[in-house]
Structure 1
Amino acid sequence: MIDFLASMLKVAKIPYTENEPLAPKSTFKVGGTARLFITPQTPEQLEAAISAARSAELPYFVTGGASNVVYPDGLYNGAIISTQSIKEIFYDPDETTPDGSVLVTCQCGVPMAAFVDFCTKKNLTGAEQFAGLPGTVGGAVYMNARCFDRSISDLLYSTSHIEYTGEKTKITELPFNAADWDYKKSPFQAHTAEDGSQTNQRYITQATFRLTPAGASAHDRIVADCKKYIAERVDKGHFKYPSAGSVFKNNHAFGAPSGKLIDDCGLKGLTAGGAQIAPFHGNFIINTGNATADNIRTLVKSAQKAVKDKFGFDLEPEIIFV
């Protein structure tokens, strides 16, 4: 079926490579090889690539910057579909909302850094907290990324996505509805039915954000704020080692951040092969050089068990194992 999928991709002129190493393509620097690594160039090619993989009845995984992803060890005998080449930004300064905001539309593969940089250059404020966040706009929307007490949904105006309902495909635009969003939750996250099937298969193609025009006089302040947030990430050790940032979601009902609970269990510094619960942050797992997906999974389970045994809380991972 791999050959069947490859032949469909060739006919559709969608770029792909075979037996592609995955570790260099994620922030964790972990993973084996993908039998096919597909790089659609447009939303239409993304839809065609997903549909082809479904027709070939092969496993597939759609990813952006893979900054929250743990690729599997060994051979992934399916298709990894990367959106990183789908990266146009659209902006009309004369298009405003009733509250005076302007709209910036980013395709799913736009790096978050590029989105923040675009806003900075145009003197648009509202996205500064996301300066330094790795990954793409599509991934940030999917996870409803949260940085410095600000969620990506706080900026959202609308989204567009590919939706599969049975055998049918449609492109749907959704205006932002606060009821669909919560802390690190979005309407795009898959829900698994009792029979194991995914009941929600939506793939983000673009997102439109509301920003506030601040004028040239605010440029230096916007730049300074972005630098401040990046410096805080550096100080917290976000970039010391390959990682996927926070491993577990926080839960206010626990009374303390997940990292503090893990630290209170004495797990900081715990290792499994080349993976380690960071000595400087209990909610980080880092790759010290030769970590495997299995090593990372071992530490995730160790932290969950320890926190459950000591506090009775169930830690919910936010990293995704492919």
Structure 2
Amino acid sequence: MSTESPSPGAVSRLVEAATAAPSLHNAQPWRFRWLADRGLLELRAAMDRCLPHSDPHGRALHMGCGAALFNLRAAAAEAGWWPACQVLPDPYDPRLLATVRLGRPPAEPDPPAEPDAARAAELAALSGLAGEIRRRHTSRQPYSAERVPDPVRAELRAAAEREGGQLLFASPWHATAVLELAGDAEGRDYADPGRLTELAGWTELPDPDTPTGDQAHQPAPVRDFAGRRAPTGREPAGAEGPPPQLALLSTAEDRPADWVRAGQALERVLLVATAHRLSASVSSESLAWSALGWTARDPLVPAGQVHAVLRLGYGAPAPATPRLPTHQVLDLR
């Protein structure tokens, strides 16, 4: 790989794409540091944006940063860079979640060697998903009853597997049970003073007079994962026939590195879904409650640790949620 490295402007554009990733309560718990002399970009946890009540173990923080890492990889590939990533590279620095070395991929040999061909194929796949980053928005509106076709489901499962995850579509009875579980978790959130205060602090609508940079943590005003109600002043996008189409994202293990891996798998699945014009929303609230999380698994289907539940379907386009400006999350050295 070439020793050439991107300019500060190019790094800023990559980080801007990374920060379009989803995160719990739109907390955006990431910080980036560009070490120009080493051609290395660090991804760090932003501890001032952690959620101690909603995310006591840091799983959602790691997943959000993992999703941002995948966006960064896709944007880098589109710009012609090969992102060589290392997750949790320093056991003595747990806030350093990943490093990304950006270099130009070597010229393809003739005939292409197998590793080079595989890397070229992955670069092409990542580059193809980069265009979906700005189109991906969480939608908690009702979806139509149209079923996600089996070939598309297969692509979504393959996307998760490519990042070391597993995506299982819930059977009708399991979807109903998981939906009830999500509703129970939402109810528990509203009954827990700490989570309720945290939820209000991160999800209230911003004052119109607030500068854009200060309202960047504010997501959409609807928290209903099932899409049973629409935002104030808007009609539902359509009736969703019960049960909704749910998919569970899991990894074999349940360690911080697996949480970052799950975040990358989640974002890859969401971008593939966006490419197929699917709407999606994600719930991890029930999994944060230790008394509820284990019940999300289907006892009839072998799976590892479930990290997120996705609701997928066809619905009206959703608006984007605000993001912090790049200069607030990127340190150029």
Q: TM-score interval w.r.t. the shorter chain?
A: under 0.3
- Structure with greater strand percent: 1
Tell me which of the two structures has the higher relative contact order, counting C-alpha pairs closer than 8 angstroms and 6 or more residues apart.
Answer: 2
Give the structure-1-normalised TM-score.
0.27
Give the structure-2-normalised TM-score.
0.26
